[in-house]
């Protein structure tokens, strides 16, 4: 599960660097989106920067986190990798609107309601796999979650599907690889807490 994450100036710089490395053609539009990033927490219902495919290239734009539930009920902000292809709400998005959500880190709370921060130890940004969908009020996204790996298991049994930098284009453009990504085990993450020593896996 993922219910809150964080972006900052370093996130913006890494997104900009990634877009240049990938030869993103609509740079002005993307750079304007990147320039709006301010340090702070992102939570369901809030607009956030995401990477998506447009006209054969990768762009950065803003979408709202969460698909509206049926009859206006609760916001749906995560989709399970194991069942996303079977669910009508997610099926078209996973086939045609795969996106990536950049973050400095994400939060998870353990059963004692203690907050844990999960980030990468090898780079200042992590990339979460997600799905986009168009609604009357604009574009919305959800984050894909998968079974927890060894670094996450002490805190929660679910975690975001984390992509490597070199997997971003394949996730967005190569339909034939979508299902294999859904079975991917994410990389091990660094866990930081206020109540115990740093744990590095």
Per-residue tokens: 7: 């972006």
3-state secondary structure of 123: coil
DSSP state of 181: H
Q: Model pTM?
A: 0.93
- Given a cut of 90, whether residue 193 has pLDDT beyond it is no
Pair type for strands 5-7 and 105-109: antiparallel
37: which residues sit within 8 A by CB, 6+ positions away? 7, 8, 9, 11, 12, 15, 49
Give 192's pLDDT tier (boundaries 50, 70, 90): very high
- Given a cut of 60, whether residue 101 has pLDDT beyond it is yes
Long-range contacts of 135-138 (CB under 8 A, 24+ apart): 135/67, 135/68, 137/64, 138/63, 138/64
Separation of alpha carbons 18 and 78, rounded Å: 25
| pLDDT tens digits along 5-40 | 999 999 999 999 998 887 765 567 888 899 999 999
DSSP string, 134-160: EETTEEEEEEEEEE--TTTTTT-SEEE
pLDDT of residue 26: 57
- Looking at domain 5-200, its CATH class is alpha beta
């Amino acid at each position: 599960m993922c219910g809150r994450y964080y972006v900052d100036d370093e996130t913006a710089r890494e997104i900009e660097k990634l877009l240049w490395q990938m030869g993103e053609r609509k740079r002005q539009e993307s750079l304007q989106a990147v320039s709006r990033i301010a340090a702070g927490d992102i939570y369901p219902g809030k607009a956030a920067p995401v990477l998506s495919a447009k006209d054969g290239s990768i762009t950065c734009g803003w979408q709202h986190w969460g698909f509206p539930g049926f009859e206006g009920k609760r916001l749906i902000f995560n989709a399970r990798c194991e069942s996303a292809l079977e669910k009508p709400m997610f099926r078209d998005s996973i086939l045609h609107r795969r996106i990536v959500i950049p973050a400095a880190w994400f939060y998870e709370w353990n059963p004692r309601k203690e907050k844990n921060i999960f980030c990468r130890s090898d780079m200042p940004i992590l990339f979460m796999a997600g799905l986009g969908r168009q609604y009357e009020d604009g574009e919305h996204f959800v984050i894909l979650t998968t079974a927890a790996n060894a670094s996450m298991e002490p805190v929660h049994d679910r975690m975001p599907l984390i992509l490597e930098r070199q997997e971003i284009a394949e996730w967005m453009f190569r339909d034939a690889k979508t299902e294999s990504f859904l079975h991917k085990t994410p990389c091990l993450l660094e866990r930081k807490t206020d109540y115990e020593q740093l744990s590095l896996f």
